[in-house]
Chain A
Amino acid sequence: MSSPTSTRTITYSEAIREGIGQAMEADDSVFMLGEDIGVYGGAFGVSGDLYHRFGPERIRDTPISELGIVGAAVGAALAGMRPIVEIQFSDFTNQAMDQIVNQAAKIHFMLGGAASVPMVLRAPLGSGTGAAAQHSQSLEAWFAHVPGLKVVMPATAEDAKGLLLSAIDDPNPVIVLEHKLLYRTSGPVPEEAVRIPLGKTAVRRTGADLSIVATGVMVSRALEAAETLAAEGIEVSVIDPRTLSPLDDAPILADVARTGRALLVQEAPGHVGFMAEIAARISESPTLYRLLAPIKRLSGLNAPIPYAPQLETASVPQVDDIVEAALTIMKES
């Protein structure tokens, strides 16, 4: 459709809510289930007034039983519905791992393609709220590692809505990892139900000197760092894969080949993390021969997220850390 769209500024969580509302209006098979999504409006307020618009059948409050919730969504999806599960914190997907990893991700394959599981699992990830070790993890690499799951990490309000709409349309299980610190940030979002395709990397900014690849809340931190670096005469690209699986690596490889320098930034611990995959893709491609400096990863500490604010801040990359890492790469080359 080529009808013009009008955008206005709304928050990341409003954008998600709007997307869900539009999908539910357009398709009766779309419904939501999760803990406290009804009158309460969701632990992070994302479902908001949807309960009042669509009622308790389609905005379905559940007992605290993540395995049961995800299992019910898998079954509903197999039987032709399009469920959207909200898990209050992505950490609690652990309770439901069998349904996510052994059931949802496998069924289409195991049945030789005879049936599919068109479900969406939305969950907030990340640190920064003082919620400590069991409510602050970034487990995206776990999900991205499992064949059969698609994994998206929207970094802007527009992406939050557009990627979610594509996730709902998609015939596969899609894990949407929303960052808690982004819920209240805002940006321009089309009023219409505009889809952003899954598996399309976004280049947020283009610069000649260095390519920064970042995910989740690190995208906005990288953009902020880019401003500081620009003031020092260093021009950086900021690239946001958006979909971690399947991964669209071509724009990343092309940009790194052009700048010759790569800084890979993630909140999750570095060890066996998603950015290790990006580093490997660069090393496995001809882009390797264009590098002017070693690839650098900037990650969260290999430690659980602590409670105390000063400890929490010290555990994950901040804007200054990104600036410093960028300057180090520039010096090394």
Chain B
Amino acid sequence: MPLSPLLDVDRGRAALRTMWQIRRFEEAVDDLFARGLMHGTMHLSIGQEASATGVCLALTDGDAITSTHRGHGHCIAQGADLVRMMAELLAKETGYCRGRGGSMHIADVATGNLGANGIVAGGIPIAAGAALAYQMRGEDHVVACFFGDGAANEGAFHEAVNLAAIWKLPVVFVCENNKYGMSFSTEKSMAIDTVAERAKGYGIPGVTVDGNDLEAVHEAASDAVARARAGEGPTLLENVTYRWKGHSKSDKNLYRTKEEITEWRGKDPIVRFEERLRSEGVLTQEDVDAVRAQALEDVRNAVREANSAPDADPTDLLDAVFASA
């Protein structure tokens, strides 16, 4: 088997840095939240970094994503600016949405992030629609549509996948199967074993991969993207992973055991990729340490800069209700 293209000094380092930025960003958010310095609610993707990173690395400029309530990782992996992201979460005027969106609605259209979504499955038909636009205009862009296992039970999922399938839209449906939709496990919410099996019902390929294996995610996503770009239509890609933290701030974690969480913490996707880079001789321990340190510094800087930005201003609150002609 040929080595993954990610096992190259520059790409390997970049991928590792993205994953560490996601981890450190969310740890910082968790901390700010716990100290009462951040408002609203947060859904952390700690433990799922390989999914966002592996998929977004398979995209190129001009491609787009749609994201979920658990979307910090997708936003970072797609190339968003950490300062503007942090500013949004800290309710600043300089944030991506000028304080109107917050964590659940963060978007960076410039990097092709068409938006996080507070509505479970809300982004899935939107992804199909964006792909339709590309197809109609003859552009060879692809949309990667992130959603959870829970979202795959919403009507919106089924309708969107069907449309994309019959029209052969250039979209990759990326199910991040972290085994739970809030407290309800996939064993209870579905009568089948994998979400990818549902692809059969729509006549498209369904692929399940180890979502904590960055290379495997990247490879499967690259195949699906290539298929989409070639006009062969959508793929349903299922990344099996795990969120270490509770669903959101108010989760008491009564529906899963400590042992299960510990077991999955042992399958850290970032540490796993570091080991691969070292064992394949791509990066040294010092290189890896430098990447970690850099990511931490990036996030510290984001918090610092965001904190010194002006607060979102209520005086022009009606500004963005309607777009002006």
Contact = CB atoms under 8 A, between A and B. Distances in A.
Interface of A: 35-36, 38-41, 43, 45, 61-68, 91-92, 94-95, 129-135, 301-304, 306-311, 313-315
24 contacts: A40-B182, A40-B252, A41-B252, A45-B250, A62-B184, A63-B181, A64-B151, A64-B182, A67-B154, A92-B119, A130-B40, A131-B118, A132-B40, A135-B104, A301-B318, A307-B100, A308-B92, A308-B100, A308-B312, A309-B91, A310-B311, A311-B314, A311-B317, A314-B317
Given A35-B184, A39-B183, A307-B40, A63 B189 contact: yes
What DSSP secondary structure best describes chain A's contact surface?
loop
Given A63-B181, A306-B99, A310-B91, A132 B118 contact: yes
Contacts of B189: 63-64
Interface in B168-214: 181-184, 188-190
A304 B99 CA distance: 12
Nearest to A64: B150
B254 interface: yes
A307 B97 contact: yes
Contacts of A302: 318, 321
B102 A64 contact: no
B105 interface: yes
Contact of A61 (B40, B151, B188, B311): B188
Nearest to A315: B317
Contact of A308 (B39, B41, B118, B255): B39
B254 A39 contact: yes
Interface string B308-325: 000110100110010000
A40 B183 contact: yes
A63 B153 contact: yes
B321 A304 contact: yes
Contacts of A61: 183-184, 188
A38 B183 CA distance: 9
Contacts of A92: 119-120
B117 interface: yes
Nearest to B314: A314
A93 to B, nearest CB: 11
Given A40-B254, A134-B105, A134-B118, 12 more contacts: A41-B252, A64-B121, A67-B154, A132-B101, A135-B104, A301-B317, A306-B312, A307-B39, A307-B88, A310-B314, A311-B91, A315-B317
B155 interface: yes
A82 B318 CA distance: 43
5 nearest CB pairs, A to B: A307-B102, A130-B40, A308-B99, A308-B91, A134-B118
Interface string B140-181: 000000000011011110000000000000000000000001
